[in-house]
Structure 1
């Protein structure tokens, strides 16, 4: 399948979901480029934002669960988080508390923040409010800027 076929409905949204999920877990990728491309190709912005937010949030839950149940091997080998990344995330989490989870979308510190939240046993319902809220704000801002650029 070529790139045009991957972007045709429903593959574009499925691809966005998968890339968003992977981007917040195992693979050092970004999903923003695909969100922008899909909007430029005519996909509805609210739908693309919702799909990207859901995928990215579920990926963050995976990282959170690794923080609760995982080992140092998972943290370092699978997530590829360095001691420095974890220290920086831990410092931010201790300083700002659970509110730092609103920044779970930020490159470099976002994934470690989710891991630290799990390791510190942040209540899952609170995690499930703050993390998607931060992610939907980021994707909404990208969608808004993309739509402004198309005018």
Structure 2
């Protein structure tokens, strides 16, 4: 088990980065680790999910405490991306957080939720439902495709 720790930790880190506004991918790493075999699929999904949800919480904090600086050049979201996420949230409300895993709009949506002061507990539950569901789907699909059981 301790020999496998770098794989789980690496997936956690990749998923955390992938959930922030920094460009990264974790789904491919999860699928690769599952296809390779020898690692516990439940622990892989847990590591990816925990990292990804934590990354979204970091985005929420960015929105909550730094959104007033969003027009600065260094702010990680361009104004048009931020405005698109505000529109998405305005249209679908707090339930849009179930789709925080969706590429392009998901990460900005989590920043907007922080800026709009969405309750952190409610935010975390909704984001986790969507993100865990996505990783479970990827894991089951990969295991089915490869004929693996973990």
After superposition, the Cα gap between the structure-2 partners of 1:91 and 1:135, relative to the gap in structure 1 and judged at 3 Å, is same
Note closer, same or farther for the CA distance 1:10–1:74 as it changes in structure 2 (3 Å cut): farther
Name 2:107's counterpart in structure 1: 111
Q: Are 2:15 and 1:20 aligned?
A: yes
Cα gap change, 1:48 to 1:74, in 2 (>3 Å): farther
Residue-by-residue CA offset, 1:115-140 (whole Å, 9 max, x unaligned): 11000000111011000110001111
Where do 1:1-151 residues align within 5 Å?
A: 9-42=4-37, 43-70=39-66, 71-72=68-69, 77-78=74-75, 80-151=76-147
Structure with the greater relative contact order (CA < 8 A, sep ≥ 6): 1 or 2? 2
Equivalent residues of 1:66, 1:74 under 8 A apart = no
Gapped regions of structure 2 (runs ≥ 5):
none
Q: TM-score scaled by structure 1?
A: 0.89
**Compared with structure 1, are the counterparts of its residues 74 and 9 closer, same or farther at alpha carbon in structure 2 (3 Å cutoff)?**
farther
In the alignment, is the contact (CA less than 8 A) between 2:14 and 2:25 conserved in 1? yes
Does the 8 Å contact 2:100/2:109 carry over to 1? yes
**Number of residues paired by the alignment?**
143
For residues 61 and 75 of structure 1, the distance between their equivalents in structure 2, rounded to whole angstroms, comes to: 22
CA RMSD of aligned residues (A): 1.6
**How far apart, in 2, do the equivalents of 1:120 and 1:90 lie?**
9
CA distance in 1, matches of 2:15, 2:98: 17
| Counterpart for residue 3 of structure 1 | none
**TM-score normalized with structure 2 length:** 0.89
Partners of 1:16 and 1:99 lie apart in 2 by: 27
Structure 1: 5+ residue runs without aligned partners?
1-7
Q: Deviation at 1:77?
A: 2.2
SS at match of 1:55: helix
